Structure 1
Amino acid sequence: MNHPNTLNHRVIRLLDASLNRASEGARVVEDYARFVLDDAHLARLAKELRHGIAAAGGILPLADRLACRDTPGDVGTAISTASEGQRTDAWAVCAASLGRLQEAIRSLEEYGKTIDPALGARFERLRYDAYTLASGLGGTQRGRERLGDARLYVLIDGSESSEAFARRVETLCEAGADVLQLRDKSLDDRTLVERARHLASLCRRHGVTSIINDRADIAVAAGADGIHVGQEELTVADARSVVGPGRLVGVSTHSIEQARTAVLAGADYLGVGPTFPSTTKAFAEFPGLDFVRQVAAEVSLPAFAIGGITPANVSEVVTAGLRRVAVSGAVSGASDPIAAVESLVATLGGQSAG
């Protein structure tokens, strides 16, 4: 290990500048997660990254860094590009800072090796942490842009015929559903593709988001807007490798740890539950409204509470902090599905979807 006093003062200047860029970039990202997204999970990770950079950089005494700093003589202060002075919105500011953050950590990683290979390895781990944070922020931004106003998500089966299915989709779209998911394990693949194509086409006509449960291949073949996976199905990365960057990937979560993991994996939205006992699906455990409260307090990625939600209890979900719900039996089993949708939409209405 080289002592800082034996290092070339120009290398110390370089490391000082990179430490400043990295910590400044992390602060800008943290502020975006904290104040723009109100996302406690991502803000905490950004803060931890910022502190990790400071701790690793502590090997260079501040007195040495300041002694070697020469801002007036830095040729880089006079170099700029037109794009640096243009930011279209807060996300553009955050995205630019994420890039600066990752670049600065890479510089620290490489030049840190001149002090100690272990220091280079330490910054390498921090760089991977920055990549993961960027994935979480990117997925959150993408999900909020695509699903910002979506409140009611309805899961449907394939119906007894193609004609009945089409009528059902039309009815739900016209009644006010924002997202429709086709979930039917009983259909053969050809029939499932046919139903999925109907879903995608009709939803597109009405401006409703179309999702296919579990089957990434069917979602692509049908031209649906996305796929939904559970904890035992495809990972977000595997689903993304099939459906590509342009389609949504949603994930069912049953604990706050699973929700945090899905955010960092780049999911576009979460299913949160089960909230109440369901008439359409059996569960061994119910994380319930406590889980809804945890997600509402920590995560700004679009999150839909699911499981046993009806017009009679949906207000409890809203009180717990989420204005997005996914339902099945509450609509499909209702004597008047249109009235059920309208009642749910009315309760979920408000300024923020949560």
Structure 2
Amino acid sequence: MTRPGVAAAIDSALFDSLITRFGATFGHDDAPWRAWPLANAPAAPGRHDVVLADGEATADTIAQLTAGGAVLIETDREGGRWIDTVRSPMGTWVLDAHADDDADDDRPHPPAFVAVLLAALALHFPAHDALCIARAWQPGRQDWPTDFARFPRVRHAALASPDNPPQPFAPCPPDLGLYAVVPSADWIERLVPLAVPTVQLRFKSDDAAAVKAEVARAAQAAKGQPSRLFINDHWRVALDHHAAMGGDSGIYGIHLGQEDLDEADLEAIRASGLRLGVSTHGYAEMLRVAAIGPSYLALGAIFPTTTKVMPTAPQGMGRFRAYVALMQPVVPALVGIGGVNGSNLREVLDVGVGSAAVVRAVTEASDVPAAVASLTALFGR
């Protein structure tokens, strides 16, 4: 790497147009992002620098770049596809995208690609999502990409082979309605009689006996009732209880976060007939999960939330609309999550989703039945 650095060629007009068109929608980073070919990168790139490698970088180069917080994108060509390895402070993703046969420029990082990549980074998308947007961008267009077929496939950390996808999980109706996420079986027992359409037990404990008892109690409360019960995280306990009850357990499905997917026995969940819902926080995660055919996707966090530590900043309504436009044709059941309450629920539903998850809007309500009635009424407007 040379000392002063020579920037990658960029379509400046396209970059400026994207910032102008979408800055208000997604927010805009005032610090300039810069892209450099690996051979011409500065000696000490930092957190607003992207280094583009045509092929694999050496271990020493990777260590040097990542130590300074820079983004490294290594690109290889396999037949008609680009294979991009994105290394950033948020981890490593390997993504596999179609290479346009009719593209005027067959280089791995042409000026238009660099423009969209840097614009997406400036619009606060993390590096792996910015890469997804840049690869999905249609040459000659300025509309935000919504064609799922143009988006990359996830090679790492893949949940299934993109060339041999598994059977999808049992489907959910697209209108899961008001979705109350609560910390105990006691809350499930309070909400099921109020006919809350969907409820989730998010019981946090390392006590195996306590978890088993809480799941059994929540399942008993939901059995034979119209409320759909999802069990968060404790997938093995939910499967065991469901099997012990002969498949008539009161449990409708299991909800997993991104961090749980690699450890869960997805085949066992699929075979049980239980539904699977998954939390996602951006393009790469949505693409990763879409490969296994989940029953629903939860998209967020839309608004600031204090109920859990989030891996990303609040997405905002602009990103939420973009995610729904991309994913709804692929996974019809979508749930808006994160900071949703009575003041913003209608805004979430107006995007076109059939469900929104609430926590404090129920658990901190002074009058729970009144709160449920008020929130449920918003779905009917």
Q: Which residue of 1 aligns with 2:319?
A: 291
Residue type of the alignment partner of 2:207: D
Q: Which residue of 2 aligns with 1:158?
A: 184
Residue type of the alignment partner of 1:296: V
Q: Which residue of 1 aligns with 2:362?
A: 331
User: How many residues were matched structurally?
Assistant: 216
Are the aligned partners of 1:214 and 1:234 in contact in 2 as well (CA < 8 Å)?
A: no
Are the aligned partners of 2:222 and 2:228 in contact in 1 as well (CA < 8 Å)?
A: yes
Superposition deviation, residue 247 in structure 1 = 1.0
Which one of the candidate residues 170, 173, 186 is aligned to 2:192? 173
Residue type of the alignment partner of 1:329: R
Q: Which residue of 2 aligns with 1:211?
A: 230
Residue type of the alignment partner of 2:224: R
Q: Which residue of 2 aligns with 1:261?
A: 288
1: CA distance between counterparts of 2:214 and 2:278?
A: 22
1: CA distance between counterparts of 2:304 and 2:147?
A: 28
What are the within-5 Å matches in structure 2 for residues 184-199 of structure 1? 184-186=203-205, 188-199=207-218
**CA-to-partner distance for each residue in 1:21-72, whole Å, 9 max, x for gaps?**
xxxxxxxxxxxxxxxxxxx655x379x9xxxxxxxxxxxxxxxxxxxxxxxx
Are the aligned partners of 1:219 and 1:225 in contact in 2 as well (CA < 8 Å)?
A: no
Residue type of the alignment partner of 1:282: V
Superposition deviation, residue 320 in structure 1 = 2.9
Per the normalisation by structure 1, the TM-score is 0.55
Q: Which residue of 1 aligns with 2:120?
A: none
1:200 and 2:200 are equivalent in the alignment: no
Superposition deviation, residue 131 in structure 1 = 3.6
1: CA distance between counterparts of 2:196 and 2:147?
A: 29
Q: Deviation above 6 Å: which 4+ runs of structure 1?
A: none
Are the aligned partners of 1:212 and 1:219 in contact in 2 as well (CA < 8 Å)?
A: yes
Are the aligned partners of 2:189 and 2:218 in contact in 1 as well (CA < 8 Å)?
A: no
2: CA distance between counterparts of 1:338 and 1:344?
A: 10
Per the normalisation by structure 2, the TM-score is 0.51
Superposition deviation, residue 190 in structure 1 = 1.0
Residue type of the alignment partner of 2:322: Q
- More helix as a share of residues: 1
Q: Which runs of 5+ in 2 are unaligned?
A: 1-145, 153-160, 243-250
2: CA distance between counterparts of 1:291 and 1:149?
A: 21
1:279 and 2:298 are equivalent in the alignment: no
Are the aligned partners of 1:173 and 1:206 in contact in 2 as well (CA < 8 Å)?
A: yes
Are the aligned partners of 1:193 and 1:221 in contact in 2 as well (CA < 8 Å)?
A: no
Which one of the candidate residues 228, 231, 234 is aligned to 2:255? 228
1: CA distance between counterparts of 2:306 and 2:184?
A: 18
2: CA distance between counterparts of 1:323 and 1:244?
A: 23
2: CA distance between counterparts of 1:204 and 1:45?
A: 43
2:366 aligned counterpart, secondary structure: coil
2: CA distance between counterparts of 1:238 and 1:330?
A: 30
Superposition deviation, residue 261 in structure 1 = 2.1
Provide closer, same or farther for how the CA distance between residues 288 and 239 of structure 1 changes in structure 2, counting only shifts above 3 A: farther
Q: Which residue of 2 aligns with 1:318?
A: 349
1: CA distance between counterparts of 2:280 and 2:260?
A: 12
Provide closer, same or farther for how the CA distance between residues 201 and 288 of structure 1 changes in structure 2, counting only shifts above 3 A: same
Q: Which residue of 2 aligns with 1:344?
A: 375
Provide closer, same or farther for how the CA distance between residues 251 and 41 of structure 1 changes in structure 2, counting only shifts above 3 A: farther
2: CA distance between counterparts of 1:148 and 1:322?
A: 8
Superposition deviation, residue 222 in structure 1 = 2.7
Superposition deviation, residue 299 in structure 1 = 1.8
2: CA distance between counterparts of 1:288 and 1:265?
A: 26
2: CA distance between counterparts of 1:337 and 1:291?
A: 31
2: CA distance between counterparts of 1:151 and 1:256?
A: 24
2: CA distance between counterparts of 1:272 and 1:232?
A: 15
Residue type of the alignment partner of 2:315: P
Please tell me whether Structure 1 or Structure 2 has the larger radius of gyration of its CA atoms: 1
Residue type of the alignment partner of 2:204: K
- More strand as a share of residues: 2
1:232 aligned counterpart, secondary structure: helix
What are the within-5 Å matches in structure 2 for residues 92-111 of structure 1? none
Superposition deviation, residue 297 in structure 1 = 0.8
